Structure 1
Amino acid sequence: MSNSDRDDARSVAPAFLALSCVGLLSSPALAQDAPTSDPQQGPRLGGATVTATAIDEEGYKAERVESPKAVAPLLDTPRSILVIDKQLIQDTGAATLADALRTVPGITFGAAEGGNPIGDRPFIRGFDTQGSTFLDGVRDIGAQTREVFAVEQVQVVRGSDSTLGGRGSAGGSINVISKLPQADTFARLDGSFGNADYKRITGDVNYRLSEQVAVRLAAMWHDQDVAERDAIWQKRWGVAPSITIGMGGPTRLTAAYYHLDTDELPDSGIPFLYTIANAPAGNTVTTPAMGEVTTAGGQTGRVKRTNFYGLKDRDFRDSHTDQFTLRAQHDFGGVTLRNTTRYSHTWQAYSFLLPDDSQGNVFGTASTNPTTGAAAARGDILTGGYVWRRANTRYGYTNSIVNQTDLYGTFETGSIKHSFAIGAEISWEKARRGAFVLATGSTISPRCNTATVARYYCTSLFDPNPNDPWVNYASDTSNVQVPISKNLPITETQQDANTKAVYAFDSITITDQLILNLGIRYDHFQSKVQPGLAATALPTARYTVRRSDGIVDYQAGLIFKPTKETSLYVSYATASTPPNSLIGEGREDNALGSVGTTIPNSAAAQAFSDALKVQRTKSFEAGAKANLFGDALALTGAVFQTETTNARVTSDANTVEFIGKTRIRGFEATASGNITDKWSVFGGYTYLDAKVRDGGYTSLAVAAITDPVTKEIIQPATSKAVVSVNTGKQLPQVAKHSFTMWTEYKVTPAFTLGGGAFYTSRIYGGYADNRSASQDAAGVITVKPATKTLARAVPGWWRFDARASYTINDHFQLAVNAQNLFNKLYYNQVYTSHYASIAPGRTVFGTLTVKY
């Protein structure tokens, strides 16, 4: 499909969505009040009714997690859980899952690069959670940028919880609850318009067709530029229809479909100023090259926050997600049997700019450029002030079929009460990915010279032009223009996995004051990978590497209730992350391995896979919870320690070993709900002391020694292992301090004022030093201590938001949201090297809401 055809097709989507929602809104049968709680008729998801209550009159407090595995209310659950309700999502103006998660303290976000595709990559308590995201309790694998138009609530579970979700979940997990049919008939349409050409329409219509049948349709169209960023734009649309048969009865069947289609120019942000090669002596914390910068060559200029180093004629991202869900459940008195089956397909393709500083081209490596020899003839630029427009490319898909059966309910053994859940899960997952073929100057060193600038492979640090007329050539030095194409199928990597699991949970009320919470899960996880080979390899060279792991995880917690409204608890939980648990869609250190210099053939790759170990995590937690003001406000506080062992690192023999250790100690406190009937709050504070206790080793190259006369090799080249620079450092992607607070106050019954304050302290992306090693004629190796250490980091920041809303009558409301009210320049993602993503500037938009 051509770009013009694609734009024409996408332009139809908003019109169709708006007209369909308006048509439903105009139906006389929908002209009634907003839905209310009806525990007799609402479909139960996990022992509790999901209601579409007018929660804007109840605040942001949730009573329980909507999951069959949540066998107790939040007050009686011995772990830290925070629930983001749809009302908070609406009030804060969140449009994506990442937007919604920013209201939760202690969550940071990693960037895309290397083995990490573009998509949601949240970190909870310092651990990557991209593979521990669930939809209605079912694992939602596959890289994607998730929307919230069809979201009822988002549940954030903090602490190791493989018992709840299976593999992964070292620091916690995220469970997204879908909007499904409800007992009442209602409709809502929201239309937003703001600066940076912000346009958004969402609709949510629920219709009770009969006593037994209800249908629901959520839909969205979104189109915007990004405030304070040149060239960047985002377009997407989605629909989520669903139907429930058997409303209010003991047997219910729900069928749901979700589709999201996105089209955007992705933004990676700003390069770092220094590499270890050109950093000043001593300890240096390099930050993105922003503001006034003076290069090694003495050029001084200003890097603006609007600078975009990508190319409109090259960079793109298209993606779509399709999910089909079928759920059947039956109530047997106090016990419910539920079966959920989901097929999910996610696909994306992109050419993603990575503003690369790896050869020192940003700051520079010399004060003058070469004037003689081949370097001068090429016009090598060594004085800095240039950004290499490296392109990370990918195309691929992830498919999964998951079937999950849960039996949950309550029973009594004498005076002891049990709230239990048992279940089983079977899943099949497949991911395949490849890369595009395009020339970007990657074979030229140094990256920036007269020719690469002329071809727009490099651009000015101070004045980049996204409209540069870039074209693709057959190679970096060819003059033959060719279209961007997919690489050959033999270069594509395919991952397959299947899981068989059983689990059980029990909340045991021993007395009114003492509750014991137990859980256990067994997973049998099998995966295999067909590594991509060189394009010149024969098809018969393809091979498969296999891996199988049996994993047992468990949790235990004890709750003491001084009063009905308070609880004190201690808990212990484990998590297990087997190799390839992300089936190639995430961290490279989780992969089974692929062909390369260290794994040259199938036998070596299989041996490498066989030697891998499951990464283990354990969490200790103690906390207190209280419901105040007639259960209107929930307060929680917890101290915790999480330890990880068996992390994959490099050994002192320059081989892979499983000696890596991290430890995170911390404290968190949260509040959610109503302080008064007019004042609502949501947020809290998290402190994380996260350390790499053992980062393994780094291998330093040791040059060969030759006889100066005979030129014979006296000592061959070798290597020397030294303790990793990461050992003892703050864990990357972790903010030591984070604070979030959203609050709203009803000035009058019709007029509400609200706002948010968000703080994140400095986050490190990675570390480096310049230690080196040499040997003498006797083979004695000497390690030269580092004269430079470099940490890549983004500074801490405060951001403030504001909101005002006015309810005209029962059917109409006007609201204005100002996100990043003071236009703060800050970075919302940081990668280990190269770059950090810059957050949008001030975004102000008004929303008209129509409700029936």
Structure 2
Amino acid sequence: MEHRITAAPGSSSLLALSCIGFIASAPATAQTPPQPAAPPRENGVELQGVTVTDTAIDSASYKPEAVNPKLTAPLLDTPRSIVVIGEQVIKDTGSATLVDALRTVPGITFGAAEGGNPIGDRPFIRGFDSQGSTYVDGVRSIGAQTREVFAIEQVQVVRGSDSTLGGRGSAGGTINIVSKLPQADSFYRADGSYGTADYKRATADANVALSPIAAIRIAAMWHDQDVAGRDAIFQKRWGVAPSATIGLGTPTRLTAAYYHLHTNELPDSGLPYTYVCSATVCNAPAGYVLDEPVHHVTTLGGQTGTVSRNTFYGLKDRDFRRSNQDQATLRVEHDFGRRITLRNTARFDHTWQGYSFLLPDDSTGNVVGTTTTNATVGGVTNFTNGGYVWRRANTRQGITNSFSDQLDLTAKLRTGPLRHSIATGLEWSEERARRGTYVIATGSTISPRCNSNTIARYYCTSLFNPNPNDPFVNYTSDTSTVATPIVKSAPYADTINEGFTKAAYLFDSISMLDERLIVNLGARYDNFRSKVQPGLASATAGRFSLSRTNNVWTYQAGAVFKPTKNSSLYATFATSATPPNSLLGEGSEPNALGTTNTAQALALLDQLKVERSKTYEVGAKIDLFDGRLALTGDIFRTETTNARVTIDANTVAFIGKRRSQGGEIGFNGNITKDWTVFGGYSYLDAKIRDGGQSALTAAAVGARAAQTVYVDSVNTGRQFPQTAKHNFTIWTNYSFAKRFSLGGGAFYSSRVFGGYSDNRTATQNAAGVVTITPATTVIARSVPGYWRLDARAGVKITSKLNLSVNVNNLTNKRYFSQAYSSHYATIAPGRSAFGTLSFAY
């Protein structure tokens, strides 16, 4: 480990980088490899977008490394909990984004707006934030974004500590998106959808075989919709993903692929929570209070009303979100006979996004109020008796670039009575994220936030009847009358984060000749150097940088016992490691490098530690009905240590501990020839075992200055935020009369917490003796549990033309999909329906 501070020139050069590799999440048992090198399969049965064959396990023709070079065994023989969402499930459920698709997987919940990702993907797996552990074809994708599904072949979710497979990352697991790439046979597919809330979507997927060894493929999408039950909100985007492969079916193959996505939308944060509670203001009742998003409310001023689902507090004249993603991939593969394959993957990834994103309310009590009456001072009335919402604008504009390269070697060999399936490789990557803001005056310097002046400027609005069409004018300051355009912050104010990774790994799946017992081993070494150049207050200030290097080992070990050819019992142990500044500012970064170069800040930089986790897991898998239905079950415990926590004003410590334990069951495949199912159940007992300390200020008394004291965090012993204890999902489809199909889904989530706070206070006497007054109120910001029901019906019009109708949120349930730690929770869309006409040739 090392750290250093260096002077940096005022203008920073763009990094020259190069690629990372194809991380592993395992494919489904006998999953048809999406890569062109995959050999043909026999006796295949298509179900839920996953082809299962009776020769999947230990078939000489089956090459799992064709899907993923770090995968050394089929899913049945892999001692990990893995879920694969196939293309057919994505299509049948009407999923248009990655978040839509992931909601079909139990044990995954979604967090809101952290680290510059307002409505982008922030999945939590087994209770741990996995935003930074998302990969596209095995290559890490750090840019904060909302991901589409039009170019996705499947989504692979590996649960549990997973740094051995993917490098630095979350304790909960990883998500790997497998792209659509050229195939040997020509086909043409197109879908057109239209529905309620002005839903319009068109996708196309064309694969053209130019010769027996060459093919091109183009996937494209156009999407435009409002959001059911949410007035004013719209989402627009388009994308294209061309790719080409030369050498299909030959020992040497070259694939080039490109991906572009553009989005334009009015971002939606949802509804504010009802109460606030802190040492300075607490308007919640006494006791332990489940603080939910505002609904039926009586303010302290006596106003009673209902906040409807479609209430939107944003401003059309101010709020926006636009983004671009561009991704270029070049891969070359060569087979040395049937047992050795060498592959190199190079990737350039670029993302840009800019937004002005509303966070309703500011946790100072505007919703319910803090007084029963309002006061007028100097002709300005302060509205403190409730019924208002501050339209706080969070803004950002930023770019991320990453270059990466991964070299993989896979081999199969024997040593005496043992068979080995080996994967080894090297990875190198450079990543750079630059972020700034937009300059907008929103009343942030005015206290209390809502008064007659801020309401006149539309900084504050009615809790019950906000108008998104209010005319917003930007001024040079909160009190100025000089209008000015909304502009980007100056380049010198931008913060620049950089990450440099060099890694090596080795995996070996070892089996006896009869394959009853399989041992899976893996180890990885990462050299990760991170650097930050903080933004400056003025153009004349000199740039400086803070950097740190961590050398990290992670490993996994598992054993599989196979009572029968189509079943397995396993036990595994795996680790993960999250070095400081792992997300490069693109997500929630509790272990950042800092932004100042004071002696105290440098001392802290020197003390930073890698957060580590370990997962213990045992489970069972079985393939039924000749491999047509896969059942899985597991129990696990994941523990993290070295989490960064606050001790006092000058000290942090790495003693934070978290533990998530529980169990999962899963099912995927065909119960009968015509009846498919996908889903499962998860139980998570996820607790914060040590949350560190929280600061309280004892106000000055006479000549004695104010004192800051520290008390145990209110989070200690409580349930993980953004985690559902119980989660159940099922999607099923039944075909009958050779032309018709009926399907539907049921999705349940128990209560999810966003954060906790209380009203403990500190006072001191003239002698400086501090007294802590215990809390009378503890609020747990949360969203209630819910059931959501979906339905689908389809008819086969001709052999090439199909019509389907999806109805989402069939009962029009009012529920919340994301819980922020404070301020607000994201409300889910209401009932919507759309029809899709599909063509396939």
Do they fold alike, i.e. is TM over 0.5?
yes
> For each residue in 1:194-235, what CA deviation from the matched residue of structure 2 results, as whole angstroms up to 9, or x when unmatched?
000000000000010012210000000000000000100000
The equivalent of 2:184 in structure 1 is: 183
1-side partners of 2:98 and 2:48: how far apart? 24
Per the alignment, in what secondary structure is the counterpart of residue 88 of structure 1?
helix
The equivalent of 2:453 in structure 1 is: 451
1-side partners of 2:456 and 2:617: how far apart? 58
Is residue 2:493 matched to residue 1:491? Answer: yes
The equivalent of 2:790 in structure 1 is: 801
The equivalent of 1:369 in structure 2 is: 374
Quick one: structure 1 residues 636 and 38, their matched pair in 2 at CA, closer, same or farther if it must change by over 3 Å?
closer
Are the counterparts in 1 of residues 600 and 650 from structure 2 also a CA contact under 8 Å? Answer: no
Is residue 2:339 matched to residue 1:350? Answer: no
* Alpha-carbon offset, residue 52 of structure 1: 15
2-side partners of 1:539 and 1:559: how far apart? 63
Is residue 2:113 matched to residue 1:112? Answer: yes
Matches within 5 A, 1:158-237: 158-237=159-238
> For each residue in 1:225-254, what CA deviation from the matched residue of structure 2 results, as whole angstroms up to 9, or x when unmatched?
000001000000000000000011000000
* Alpha-carbon offset, residue 538 of structure 1: 4.4
The equivalent of 2:780 in structure 1 is: 791
Matches within 5 A, 1:344-743: 344-371=349-376, 373-374=377-378, 377-510=379-512, 511-534=514-537, 537-595=538-596, 601=597, 603-652=599-648, 655-706=651-702, 713=703, 715-743=704-732
* Alpha-carbon offset, residue 686 of structure 1: 0.3
2-side partners of 1:307 and 1:452: how far apart? 20
Are the counterparts in 1 of residues 32 and 50 from structure 2 also a CA contact under 8 Å? Answer: no
Counterpart AA for 2:336: F
1-side partners of 2:274 and 2:599: how far apart? 43
Are the counterparts in 2 of residues 72 and 419 from structure 1 also a CA contact under 8 Å? Answer: yes
2-side partners of 1:792 and 1:823: how far apart? 24
* Alpha-carbon offset, residue 703 of structure 1: 1.9
The equivalent of 2:312 in structure 1 is: 308
Quick one: structure 1 residues 591 and 723, their matched pair in 2 at CA, closer, same or farther if it must change by over 3 Å?
same
1-side partners of 2:692 and 2:51: how far apart? 44
* Alpha-carbon offset, residue 58 of structure 1: 7.2
* Alpha-carbon offset, residue 348 of structure 1: 0.3
Quick one: structure 1 residues 61 and 484, their matched pair in 2 at CA, closer, same or farther if it must change by over 3 Å?
farther
* Alpha-carbon offset, residue 699 of structure 1: 1.5
- Unaligned runs of 5+ residues in structure 2 are 1-29, 57-63
Are the counterparts in 1 of residues 523 and 554 from structure 2 also a CA contact under 8 Å? Answer: yes
How high is the TM-score relative to the length of structure 1? 0.91
The equivalent of 1:34 in structure 2 is: none
Matches within 5 A, 1:764-775: 764-775=753-764
Counterpart AA for 1:518: L
Are the counterparts in 1 of residues 225 and 236 from structure 2 also a CA contact under 8 Å? Answer: yes
* Alpha-carbon offset, residue 608 of structure 1: 2.4
Q: Which moved more, 1:442-451 or 1:653-662?
A: 653-662
* Alpha-carbon offset, residue 87 of structure 1: 0.8
Please state which structure has a larger fraction of its residues in helix. 1
Per the alignment, in what secondary structure is the counterpart of residue 354 of structure 1?
strand
* Alpha-carbon offset, residue 411 of structure 1: 1.2
* Alpha-carbon offset, residue 357 of structure 1: 3.8
Counterpart AA for 2:563: P
1-side partners of 2:41 and 2:543: how far apart? 49
> For each residue in 1:696-746, what CA deviation from the matched residue of structure 2 results, as whole angstroms up to 9, or x when unmatched?
01111122222xxxxxx2x33222211100000001111000000000011
1-side partners of 2:287 and 2:836: how far apart? 52
- Unaligned runs of 5+ residues in structure 1 are 1-36, 596-600, 707-712
Is residue 2:66 matched to residue 1:73? Answer: no
Quick one: structure 1 residues 498 and 117, their matched pair in 2 at CA, closer, same or farther if it must change by over 3 Å?
farther
Is residue 2:37 matched to residue 1:44? Answer: yes
Are the counterparts in 2 of residues 42 and 248 from structure 1 also a CA contact under 8 Å? Answer: no
Quick one: structure 1 residues 803 and 424, their matched pair in 2 at CA, closer, same or farther if it must change by over 3 Å?
same
> For each residue in 1:302-354, what CA deviation from the matched residue of structure 2 results, as whole angstroms up to 9, or x when unmatched?
10100010000000011000000000001112111110000000000000011
2-side partners of 1:693 and 1:739: how far apart? 26
1-side partners of 2:33 and 2:306: how far apart? 64
The equivalent of 2:346 in structure 1 is: 341
Q: Which moved more, 1:97-106 or 1:483-492?
A: 483-492
Per the alignment, in what secondary structure is the counterpart of residue 589 of structure 1?
coil
Are the counterparts in 2 of residues 275 and 357 from structure 1 also a CA contact under 8 Å? Answer: no
Are the counterparts in 2 of residues 386 and 458 from structure 1 also a CA contact under 8 Å? Answer: yes
Per the alignment, in what secondary structure is the counterpart of residue 663 of structure 2?
strand
> For each residue in 1:353-377, what CA deviation from the matched residue of structure 2 results, as whole angstroms up to 9, or x when unmatched?
1102411001100111115x44xx3
Is residue 2:93 matched to residue 1:102? Answer: no
The equivalent of 1:257 in structure 2 is: 258
Quick one: structure 1 residues 797 and 51, their matched pair in 2 at CA, closer, same or farther if it must change by over 3 Å?
farther
Counterpart AA for 2:505: Y
Are the counterparts in 2 of residues 652 and 722 from structure 1 also a CA contact under 8 Å? Answer: no
Are the counterparts in 1 of residues 698 and 706 from structure 2 also a CA contact under 8 Å? Answer: yes
Per the alignment, in what secondary structure is the counterpart of residue 689 of structure 2?
strand
Quick one: structure 1 residues 799 and 387, their matched pair in 2 at CA, closer, same or farther if it must change by over 3 Å?
same
> For each residue in 1:35-60, what CA deviation from the matched residue of structure 2 results, as whole angstroms up to 9, or x when unmatched?
xx998996137xx7799988358768
Is residue 2:333 matched to residue 1:332? Answer: no
Is residue 2:837 matched to residue 1:848? Answer: yes
Structural RMSD (CA)? 1.9
> For each residue in 1:262-299, what CA deviation from the matched residue of structure 2 results, as whole angstroms up to 9, or x when unmatched?
00001000000100021111111110002x21111110
Are the counterparts in 2 of residues 38 and 51 from structure 1 also a CA contact under 8 Å? Answer: no
2-side partners of 1:438 and 1:541: how far apart? 25
Are the counterparts in 1 of residues 47 and 669 from structure 2 also a CA contact under 8 Å? Answer: no
Is residue 2:814 matched to residue 1:825? Answer: yes
2-side partners of 1:122 and 1:673: how far apart? 25
Are the counterparts in 1 of residues 115 and 586 from structure 2 also a CA contact under 8 Å? Answer: no
Per the alignment, in what secondary structure is the counterpart of residue 231 of structure 2?
coil
Are the counterparts in 2 of residues 379 and 449 from structure 1 also a CA contact under 8 Å? Answer: yes
What is the count of residue pairs matched by the alignment? 796
Counterpart AA for 1:268: S
* Alpha-carbon offset, residue 167 of structure 1: 0.2
1-side partners of 2:823 and 2:273: how far apart? 6
The equivalent of 1:55 in structure 2 is: 46
Are the counterparts in 2 of residues 652 and 696 from structure 1 also a CA contact under 8 Å? Answer: no
* Alpha-carbon offset, residue 605 of structure 1: 3.5
Are the counterparts in 2 of residues 355 and 390 from structure 1 also a CA contact under 8 Å? Answer: yes
Per the alignment, in what secondary structure is the counterpart of residue 544 of structure 1?
strand
Per the alignment, in what secondary structure is the counterpart of residue 782 of structure 1?
strand
Are the counterparts in 1 of residues 439 and 486 from structure 2 also a CA contact under 8 Å? Answer: yes
Per the alignment, in what secondary structure is the counterpart of residue 165 of structure 2?
helix
* Alpha-carbon offset, residue 116 of structure 1: 4.4
Counterpart AA for 1:488: A
How high is the TM-score relative to the length of structure 2? 0.92
Are the counterparts in 1 of residues 635 and 663 from structure 2 also a CA contact under 8 Å? Answer: yes
2-side partners of 1:660 and 1:623: how far apart? 29
Are the counterparts in 1 of residues 48 and 676 from structure 2 also a CA contact under 8 Å? Answer: no
1-side partners of 2:148 and 2:135: how far apart? 14
* Alpha-carbon offset, residue 822 of structure 1: 1.1
Quick one: structure 1 residues 432 and 58, their matched pair in 2 at CA, closer, same or farther if it must change by over 3 Å?
closer
Counterpart AA for 1:634: A
1-side partners of 2:440 and 2:327: how far apart? 32
Per the alignment, in what secondary structure is the counterpart of residue 602 of structure 2?
helix
Quick one: structure 1 residues 38 and 788, their matched pair in 2 at CA, closer, same or farther if it must change by over 3 Å?
closer
Per the alignment, in what secondary structure is the counterpart of residue 228 of structure 2?
coil
Counterpart AA for 1:492: D
> For each residue in 1:614-644, what CA deviation from the matched residue of structure 2 results, as whole angstroms up to 9, or x when unmatched?
0000000000000001110000000000000
Counterpart AA for 2:668: S
Counterpart AA for 1:55: E
2-side partners of 1:42 and 1:262: how far apart? 28
